[in-house]
Structure 1
Amino acid sequence: MSIIETEEQKELRAAVAALAERYNYVDYVLPKSRAHEPLTELWAEAAKLGFLGVNLPEEYGGGGAGIYELALVQEELSAKGAGLLLVVVSPAICGTIISKYGTDAQKQEWLPGLADGSRIMAFGITEADAGSNSHNITTIARRDGDDWIFSGSKVYISGVDQADAVLVVSRTEDAKTGKLRPALFIVPTDAAGFTKTPMEMDILEPDYQFSLFFDDVRLPADALVGEPEAALMQLFAGLNPERIMGAAMAVGMGRYALDAAVRYANERTVWKQPIGAHQGIAHPLAQRKIELELAKLMMQKAAFLYDSGDDFGAAEAANMAKYAAGEAAIASLDQAIQTHGGAGLTREYGLAAMLGAARIARVAPVSREMILNFVAQHSLGLPKSY
């Protein structure tokens, strides 16, 4: 693994940063968030430039690169306050799973649209009584001739109002043993019996969260992705990229906050010198810079390992990256607000509005407590605690 990026990767960073500057946080994202409107224009232009599908196979219109490059895209967007939540979901999770485990027909149907942004797929795993414990999932798909009958519910599912379908984690019954096995299904959002209800969240975000209900939704046989007995492997093929992309978004958000703080610390003058000259301001910002760079390195390691096919190494690094990035993002944003003083709480700068979004990084897509459980058990060899 080289920590020096290729010329192509550097050029990609520069191109994404230029786009994100035009759709920056204060001028574009924050007004959209206050109006609860999706970042449609940014999504369309990012798609047109080929940024959304950089990780998907070239034969289906993608860039043929990896999760490293998609995380790079997300980081640079987020560094201008313009991170796209659906990049985490549609090309990273769903696109990766379908690329690896979908049938030829599923790949032909979905990957070109996911690559060029013309189609969006949400991802549904969380239930009211099944968060990190996916073994408690109660959404069930049962056979009815060649079809499947789909029943259950999901919560905290992002961007369903923008999606053409949801890749849903459910369970099927093994006809021989009667046991329930995990399985993944593509459920169109316009299917009969499918309903979505916006959840009332108390944070400023352009994307809504939804509760989903499946009331005997009839699905064709080819709605099943891959093999039922391989579903756990298929699921983790998408969850590792989710953690890496979540880390990329958090690192970028931390960079945005730190840049805002440094800019203000250089411009704001008291006692005839910039406030950044005082160690009480400078040292905490320097600490945040170090923490962000360390989190970024772990994120890059996780992406490299994932693209290299090291699934276990990628899982460990992805969890660590997501933890470190979440902590660094919150600390950076909090320090940015502190650096601005009272100005940090005004609408002009929008930093206080971003604080809730940054706080998500400690909770989703996996809580920091579950990450610590993972590291304690799998990295340190301690007894399982749950």
Structure 2
Amino acid sequence: MSNNFSETEERQELRKAVRKLAGKYGREWFTEKARSGEKTTELWLEVGKNGYLGINIPEEYGGGGGGIGDIAAVCEELAAQGCPLLLMVVSPAICGTIITRYGTEEQKQRWLPGICDGTGTMAFAITEPDAGTNTHNISTTARRDGDEWVLNGRKIYISGVDEAENVLVVARAEDARTGKVKPVLFVVPTDADGFEAQPIPMEIVSPELQFTVFLDDVRLPADSVVGDEDGGLVQLFAGLNPERIMAASFSTGLARYALDRAVSYAKERTVFQGPIGGHQAVAHPLAQSHIEVEMARLMTQKAAALYDAGDDMGAGEAANMAKYAAAEASCDAVDRAVQAHGGNGITQEYGMAGLLVAARAGRIAPVSREMILNFVAMHSLGLPKSY
């Protein structure tokens, strides 16, 4: 009898292969790259070459023909080896999913192979300084000019623009028939005239930078629009459930890495009699985090299974819950791992403290815990909308 609570043998083998690949690089290599301002391109391209980067994209475009659960497993195992690749959330999972679902045949042929092999990474730009999570307040505009579109506006906290060939930008266009504005998705080359990106200094230890993006009369051909320009929010949200599932996997991967390090340390470090892991004050918090992380992983698995089965409603609820649970579990796990290390937990040598900001970001991005609680209160519990 099949058991829905354990992953398929194929998925387990995939995890093992990714672990092995990422293990060749490891946390020290990753941190060194981040601190010296270098990139993790070598790892990114090797992940792509092995077919893991586009594992969720159809085979005819260079992908693996798998589901969101497969790419989430890759993302988690990379993070669990100390090499969290944030652009995996963005390029194959958000952009890859939206283009696969809504792109024309020509657009799929043009952009998906590069997303799969890592040579044509695509960033995603939705957040704005004055809109935050409120997609209805987006002020980046797109207006028609003959056969072209002209984009103007500003985006903030856009990951990895310097490593991307293109950015999938969410803009607002006016509907000629109704006069109402609607969201439209555009693929914008990062070398386009009028496109400018400035790095935002962050406290996070990561080779992947955050940017403010300025769009100043950026001219685009008509075939830059992905999907139906009247498709609206449905097309946009097609990438957001995968984003939440990936963010959850990113968080649980980080948590697993921190716990592994803390457990190893607690087995070896001796104070008073025997290793510190023999004391309940050290052992219990780590055990508690292990339980919380495993629960979050199970919810992430459920969200991915629902999404891959085409149940968008069920996946929306589960993806939000998974993302919430994973961020909470990760913050607590990293904090407890730092505590288990004592003073060593805040040294560069042991590399624990740098994980605090990375884990904490999961409570804020890509959607804040408060907005998830709003979603669950309203959609799961049927309470009145509060915002």
What range describes the TM-score normalised by the shorter chain of this pair?
Answer: over 0.9
Q: Which runs of 5+ in 1 are unaligned?
A: none
Write the letter of the residue equivalent to 1:343.
N
Per the TM alignment, residue 22 of structure 1 is displaced from its structure 2 partner at its CA by 1.1
- 1:178 Cα offset (Å): 1.4
Report the secondary structure of 1:63's partner residue: coil
Partner of 1:10: 12
Corresponding residue number in structure 2 for 1:294: 295
User: What secondary structure, in the 3-state scheme, does the structure 1 residue paired with 2:239 have?
Assistant: helix
Distance 1:282 1:193 in 2: 55
Structure 2 letter corresponding to 1:365: P
**Equivalent residue letter for 2:72:** A
Q: CA deviation at 1:148?
A: 0.5
How many residues align? The count is 385
Alignment pair present for 1:20 and 2:22? yes
Which residues of 2 match residues 235-384 of structure 1 at below 5 A?
235-384=236-385
| 1:37–1:207 CA contact under 8 A, matched in 2 | no
- Residue 274 of structure 1 and its aligned partner are, at CA, apart by 1.0
- Equivalent-residue separation in structure 2 for 1:4 and 1:372 (angstroms): 28
Tell me what 1:124 maps to. Answer: 125
- Equivalents in 2 of 1:353, 1:252: separation in Å? 15
- State the alpha-carbon separation in 1 of the partners of residues 204 and 90 from structure 2: 20
* SS of structure 2 residue aligned to 1:202: coil
Aligned-pair CA distance for 1:179? 1.1
Greater alpha carbon shift after TM alignment, 365-374 vs 170-179:
170-179
Q: 2:9 corresponds to which letter in structure 1?
A: E
Contact 1:93/1:239, CA 8 A, preserved across alignment:
yes
Distance in 2 between residues matched to 1:357 and 1:40, nearest whole Å: 20
Amino acid at match of 2:157: Y
Relative to the length of structure 1, the TM-score reads: 0.98
Q: CA deviation at 1:38?
A: 2.0
Residue 203 of structure 1 deviates from its aligned partner by: 2.1
Rounded to whole Å, the distance in 1 between the matches of 2:386 and 2:25 is 45
Question: SS where residue 381 of structure 1 aligns?
Answer: coil
1:89-128 CA-partner distances (Å, limit 9, x unpaired): 0000000000000011100100111111111100000001
Q: Shift in Å at residue 36 of structure 1?
A: 2.6
**Counterpart in 1 of 2:60?**
59
Matched, 1:172 2:173: yes
Partner in structure 1 of residue 155 of structure 2: 154
SS in 1 for 2:133: coil
CA distance in 2, matches of 1:3, 1:212: 42
d(CA) in 2 for partners of 1:369 and 1:30?
A: 31
- Offset of residue 336 of structure 1: 0.5
- The residue aligned with 2:50 is 49
- Output the TM-score relative to the length of structure 2: 0.98
Corresponding residue of 2:102: 101
Q: Which residue of 2 aligns with 1:144?
A: 145
Which stretch of structure 1 is more off in the superposition, 145-154 or 199-208? 199-208
Unaligned runs of 5+ in 2: none
Q: Is the 8 A contact 1:36 1:208 kept in 2?
A: no
CA contact (8 A) 1:46 1:52 kept: yes
Mapped partners of 1:230, 1:316: distance in 2: 22
Per the alignment, in what secondary structure is the counterpart of residue 386 of structure 2?
A: coil
Q: How many angstroms does 1:231 deviate by?
A: 2.6
Runs of 4+ in 1 over 3 A off after TM superposition: none
SS in 1 for 2:188: strand
User: Residue 201 of structure 1 aligns with which residue?
Assistant: 202
Query: Within 1, Cα distance between the matches of 2:336 and 2:330?
Result: 10
Output one character per residue of 1:110-152: Cα deviation in whole Å (capped at 9) or x when no partner.
0111111111100000001111110000111111111111111
- The residue type paired with residue 308 of structure 1 is A
Partners of 1:204 and 1:112 in 2: CA distance: 30
SS, match of residue 177 in structure 1: coil
Amino acid at match of 1:341: G
Letter in 2 for 1:10: Q
Q: What SS class does the counterpart of residue 318 from structure 2 fall into?
A: helix
